[in-house]
Amino acid sequence: MRASFFSDFLNLFFPETCIGCSTNLRYSEKILCTQCLLDLPRIYPKTKQLNPLEDLLVGQFNFEFAHALFHYTKDKTYSKLLYNLKYNNRPDIGVYLGELLAVQIEEMHKNNSVDCIVPVPLHSKRLHKRGYNQSEEIAKGISNVLSIPIKTNDVLRKVHTQTQTSKSREERLNNVANIFAISNNSTLESKHVLLIDDVITTGATIISCALAILKASPNTKISICSIGLA
Ligand SMILES: [Zn+2]
């Protein structure tokens, strides 16, 4: 009560602005104004055909479903969401996007049997530098809506990789092979795990992570979700 009074009071002088277009947000809006929210290039697979993320991952490993929230193109308004989430100390954007994603998961995969959410881990060095794992913030948003627990102690990132943006698909796949390890007391065996990443480009990182889980516990079921699909 007092906290919200205080933030309303602050808003009179420092209104929050839309991450996309910088207009002042209204009371009912958060992170994005209504127009920018409507303009998100969402991925709505209308038919039973493969959606673009499933199309990218099919044949790499067995998964239950795969879904990305929107098409990601650099230099577009909505790319600011992911930029601020990763580089501008805005973990709240991750929670917000996770909530949007969860609503879509609920619509499209109603009777899913997901037992737990596993954010793709960062290497401890990068986690320390950023202060939070952006994928874990997205997982929190999903967990808020779907009431599914998050597990962050089962999968570890044992190798610190440099940014992958300038590498080819093959280089990326080689670069991330075996960078993940499963902890000895992992509880993922025979569970349905929803793996979360912020942006999927070639799929190399998420494939490597899924393969590490399946190697340690072949009976685990895996689904994949991300915010952006580049
Ligand atoms: Zn806006």
pLDDT at 89: 94
Distance 17 CA to ligand 1 centre (A): 8
The alpha-helical segments, DSSP class H, found in the chain are 2-13, 34-39, 52-57, 79-87, 91-108, 124-130, 134-146, 169-176, 204-216
Q: What is the pLDDT of residues 166-201, one digit of tens each?
A: 667 777 767 777 899 999 989 999 999 999 999 999
Distance CA(46)–CA(32), nearest Å, equals 25
Assign residue 174 a region: left if phi > 0, alpha if psi is -120 to 50, beta otherwise? alpha
What are the per-10-residue average pLDDT scores of the chain (230 residues)? Answer: 60 78 92 93 73 92 94 84 94 97 89 94 92 97 97 91 68 78 93 97 94 95 96
Distance 58 CA to ligand 1 centre (A): 35
Distance CA(157)–CA(209), nearest Å, equals 9
Distance 30 CA to ligand 1 centre (A): 10
pLDDT at 175: 75
**Token reading at 76:** 């577009």
Distance 196 CA to ligand 1 centre (A): 26
Distance 38 CA to ligand 1 centre (A): 9
Residue 86: what are its φ and ψ, rounded to 5°? -85, -35
Distance 82 CA to ligand 1 centre (A): 15
- The 8-class DSSP code of residue 187 comes to -
Distance CA(55)–CA(124), nearest Å, equals 32
pTM across the whole model? 0.89
**Token reading at 33:** 């104004």
pLDDT at 108: 84
Assign residue 31 a region: left if phi > 0, alpha if psi is -120 to 50, beta otherwise? left
| Pick from 216, 21, 162, 211: nearest CA to 224 | 211
| Pick from 135, 38, 37: nearest CA to 86 | 135
Distance 103 CA to ligand 1 centre (A): 21
Distance 15 CA to ligand 1 centre (A): 14
